[in-house]
Amino acid sequence: MAGTELKSPGVAAEPDRLSARLVVRFGVILTVVSIACLFIVYGFFRLFESRTSRSETGPTPVEAERPLTAEQKLPPEPRLEIDPQAHLARLHAEEDEVLRTYGWVDKPNGVVRIPIDRAMALMVEREGKK
């Protein structure tokens, strides 16, 4: 039995190699489909872009009747800072001004603020009397 091949009826084996023709054909089809998809997506992009530009050409009827002021045209808070360092410096200057000056906090109720140096001196004075 050493040289005999066993063959079963109805059983087949797959070929050992892939067909180069089949691989090239698949590559060509994949390339064509990819390029077609790119053109379709580009077409949709252009279509939506043209629709958007047409709808944003002029003011709405309400805006035409009552134009917005400069303040109303600004986007809602928080807005982007153009120069964060300058903004921070201005904020610190405003805070220092509040800490170094006298002013009303609640005038109807008689609440005032005093400079921080004066407040610390008063606290030291009060603690020294106890």
pLDDT 10s digits, 33-79: 999 999 999 999 999 998 887 766 666 777 777 777 777 777 778 87
Token pair for 74: 């600004």
Q: Residue 39: give the domain boundaries.
A: 19-61
Domain count for the chain = 2
Confidence check: pLDDT of 82 > 60: yes
**What amino acid is encoded at 30 in this protein?**
L
The pTM (predicted TM-score) of the whole model is 0.36
In a domain, residue 123? The reply is yes
73 in any annotated domain = no
Q: Identify which of 89, 72, 73 has the alpha carbon closest to the alpha carbon of residue 81.
A: 89
Specify if 102 maps to a domain. Answer: yes
The mean pLDDT of 10-24, rounded to a whole number, is 80
